[in-house]
A and B are shown apart, each in its own frame.
Chain A
């Protein structure tokens, strides 16, 4: 057990710290304003070009083949410098790495890693949320192409994306869920429900074509450029842009969502640490302004954010034995949610709500934190998974 830096890690940390001194883009605390999302692409490319992004991925897709623990160093230094977190793309990369063939990996991944290609993820639909396998978007074969028709929602970065990772049904003989089917992902509840996972394929669909309409969603903290919905009406995709074999899309989706639950993959530690550090700065500057309850909320946010940093150290160290995506991701997602929402409560408590035309950044941070127990799989679904797959409790 060694939480300290090896000589190589220390040298890397020093290089990053130097670079950050001159290259912090000065974006606002993430997720609180549209300015953040507008500047995110340039930040991604700057980080990548300087050699601080995509560290653990293979060199042939533009990564640096370093151990995953280097990402912890990046998160720590970004937070210490007050810089924005690294882009949250690891789950897409892991999914395509594992399920795409050589051709797909070579064509798709370098652009994602280096930030030149912007991707979004078309999984959820208005009638397929927690019960993702009930999705209805169709892909019809037409010569060398597929034609996509359907409605996707909660599509992060859809407004700026060049490409969308779309899950669609290619085998129309497989029965789709009926309204009477119980919505539970805690385990198969019948043969038909189990079969729904078949006949789903994954595609890379261009967002820049006729037949694709993107609509922004305005979230409760007022931002409009993170989430959107996407309507596909006859959008076309070459058959060679399918990721994985026909009918294998569900497996890719499960790989993607399991990594989407991992704070180490998402880089959120830096985001939480940055917020907590700023809140601590407020209290340090004017200690008499804050009462014991506010200071206590800050204390728990400090404890929670630090716990998550250490938990990520543990999980990314475990990757030295090889990458797995088991049900532990659900534990990590629940921990991350607890942290985000404790930090949100501290932001509300210490930062306060803003009146009149005052800056309402802290209110926005708080409001944004409510989404964490929904996106990437609700906390209720995660608890089902922990109970059945980790604790071995029987499915209902």
Chain B
């Protein structure tokens, strides 16, 4: 066991940090700066980070879940308003289905409550489903029932963008959004593959939450060092210090669980990978809401104004929480794994454990 980042992984983290520190929005007003956003998008594009989960010749991904988590965390810390979550999940779906890489930018569509991938039969409407991280995407992938599992379907995106997250818009699909086939698939997605996809998505969204928490704490701690009341920085008051200390603690716990989930997405059998993802997501989702709320509170009245970045972190965390389920859904997955899956005979280490439909 050695869970330290490799030198290459540290370099990846540093380069993601550099990009987002240089081109990410540093004030709410900069979210409207289209030129800056386009430069960030071009830099993310050029880096190849959106292709980390596309398949090599033998179908394995170019990079592990750990690399994806590293990039997701840094982009969230800097409130990157360039797509990553959506295209990365779409690439994972294509790889698992043995489909060729996307020809044009695409994302994924989720169930109306975002707690699972959208699932609608081919030729029907995907109305009510929600495409996430839609900026620049022409279409969204979803699941379509097929013999023995699911195949990939896709819908065109044309409906208006909006949603809670100011850095990653969502689209509620209209009744006209018809599910069309995706060309070139070579595999039907079975339970096990879908469990793996969910496990990967939970690690990815947990990493997003860790990054948002780090950014929110940096913002609030910086403000607490500068803002003076009673003739002294408010960060010198224990009441303020303890709020921020609790936030810092919550991030570290979330980080440890997320690192394991990111590793486990590839390295553990599907059932175990899903449990690892659910532990990380339940923990990080609970932590992120409190941490981002703390960032708003430490800013006082300013924190409740549109111009303060604190709510942008909170909004980003709210979306990341909902994607593939927040605390409730993932607590249920953890309990299911402990109370139900463990009742069945344990496979020997290294042997693959069958994914269970109910777990998704």
CA distance in complex: A302, B342 (Å):
14
Which residues from chain A contact B256 at a C-beta distance below 8 Å? Answer: 307, 310-311, 313-314
Q: In the complex where A1-B5, A387-B244, A391-B244 touch, is A307 in contact with B283 (Cβ < 8 A)? A: yes
Q: Are B283 and A394 in contact (CB under 8 A)?
A: no
Q: Any chain B CB within 8 A of the CB of A209?
A: no
Q: Are B252 and A1 in contact (CB under 8 A)?
A: no
Which residues from chain A contact B5 at a C-beta distance below 8 Å? Answer: 1
Q: Any chain B CB within 8 A of the CB of A325?
A: no
Q: Any chain A CB within 8 A of the CB of B111?
A: no
Q: In the complex where A391-B221, A394-B235 touch, is A335 in contact with B249 (Cβ < 8 A)? A: yes
* Chain-A contact segment, one of B53-61, B88-96, B259-267: B259-267
In the complex, residue of chain B having the shortest beta-carbon distance to the beta carbon of A393:
B235
How many residues does chain B have at the interface if contact means C-beta atoms less than 8 Å apart? 49
Which residues from chain A contact B4 at a C-beta distance below 8 Å? Answer: 1, 317-318, 320-321
Within 8 A of B (CB), among A351-389: 380, 382-384, 386-388
What DSSP secondary structure best describes chain B's contact surface? helix
Q: Are A334 and B245 in contact (CB under 8 A)?
A: yes
* Chain-A contact segment, one of B30-38, B75-83, B163-171, B333-341: B333-341
Within 8 A of A (CB), among B231-265: 232-233, 235-238, 240-242, 244-246, 248-249, 252-253, 255-257, 259-260, 262-264
Within 8 A of B (CB), among A260-306: 280, 283-284, 287, 295-296, 298-300, 302-304, 306
Q: Any chain A CB within 8 A of the CB of B224?
A: yes
In the complex, residue of chain A having the shortest beta-carbon distance to the beta carbon of B9:
A1
Across the interface, A386 reaches (CB within 8 A) one of B64, B232, B233, B249, namely: B249
Which residues from chain B contact A287 at a C-beta distance below 8 Å? Answer: 339
Which residues from chain B contact A335 at a C-beta distance below 8 Å? Answer: 249, 252-253
Q: Are B267 and A4 in contact (CB under 8 A)?
A: yes
Across the interface, A313 reaches (CB within 8 A) one of B1, B232, B233, B334, namely: B1
Across the interface, B335 reaches (CB within 8 A) one of A5, A69, A298, namely: A298
CA distance in complex: A371, B108 (Å):
48
Which residues from chain B contact A5 at a C-beta distance below 8 Å? Answer: 1
Which residues from chain A contact B103 at a C-beta distance below 8 Å? Answer: none
In the complex, residue of chain B having the shortest beta-carbon distance to the beta carbon of A295:
B335
Q: In the complex where A307-B283, A321-B4 touch, is A284 in contact with B339 (Cβ < 8 A)? A: yes
Mask, B211-235, CB within 8 Å of A = 1, is 0000001000100110000001101
Q: Are A384 and B249 in contact (CB under 8 A)?
A: no
Q: Any chain A CB within 8 A of the CB of B147?
A: no
Q: Are A280 and B1 in contact (CB under 8 A)?
A: no
CA distance in complex: A395, B235 (Å):
8
Q: Any chain A CB within 8 A of the CB of B310?
A: no
How many residues does chain A have at the interface if contact means C-beta atoms less than 8 Å apart? 54
A-B contact count (CB 8 A): 158
Q: Are A72 and B252 in contact (CB under 8 A)?
A: no
Q: Any chain A CB within 8 A of the CB of B28?
A: no
In the complex, residue of chain A having the shortest beta-carbon distance to the beta carbon of B262:
A1
In the complex, residue of chain B having the shortest beta-carbon distance to the beta carbon of A333:
B249
CA distance in complex: A22, B253 (Å):
35
CA distance in complex: A310, B258 (Å):
9
Q: Are B343 and A284 in contact (CB under 8 A)?
A: yes
Q: Are B3 and A2 in contact (CB under 8 A)?
A: yes
How distant is A51 from chain B, measured CB to nearest CB, in Å?
A: 19
In the complex, residue of chain A having the shortest beta-carbon distance to the beta carbon of B328:
A296
Q: In the complex where A1-B3, A1-B6, A2-B1 touch, is A302 in contact with B66 (Cβ < 8 A)? A: no
CA distance in complex: A336, B235 (Å):
25
CA distance in complex: A383, B242 (Å):
5
Which residues from chain A contact B262 at a C-beta distance below 8 Å? Answer: 1
Q: Are B225 and A384 in contact (CB under 8 A)?
A: no
Q: Any chain B CB within 8 A of the CB of A396?
A: yes
Q: Are A3 and B241 in contact (CB under 8 A)?
A: no
CA distance in complex: A332, B283 (Å):
16
Q: In the complex where A3-B1, A299-B335 touch, is A384 in contact with B241 (Cβ < 8 A)? A: yes
Listed in ascending order, the chain B residues whose CB lies under 8 Å from chain A are: 1-6, 9, 64, 66, 217, 221, 224-225, 232-233, 235-238, 240-242, 244-246, 248-249, 252-253, 255-257, 259-260, 262-264, 267, 279, 282-283, 331-332, 334-335, 338-339, 342-343
Given contact pairs A311-B257, A320-B2, enumerate 11 new A-B contacts (beta carbons under 8 Å).
Answer: A1-B4, A186-B241, A284-B343, A302-B334, A308-B253, A310-B257, A310-B260, A311-B253, A314-B255, A387-B242, A393-B224
Listed in ascending order, the chain A residues whose CB lies under 8 Å from chain B are: 1-6, 9, 69, 72-73, 186, 280, 283-284, 287, 295-296, 298-300, 302-304, 306-308, 310-311, 313-314, 317-318, 320-321, 328, 331-332, 334-335, 338, 380, 382-384, 386-388, 390-396
**What would 27 A/B residue contacts be, using CB atoms closer than 8 Å?**
A1-B64, A2-B2, A4-B1, A9-B1, A186-B238, A299-B334, A299-B335, A300-B331, A302-B334, A307-B279, A310-B257, A314-B3, A314-B255, A317-B2, A320-B4, A321-B4, A331-B248, A331-B249, A335-B249, A338-B253, A384-B242, A387-B235, A393-B224, A393-B240, A393-B244, A396-B237, A396-B238
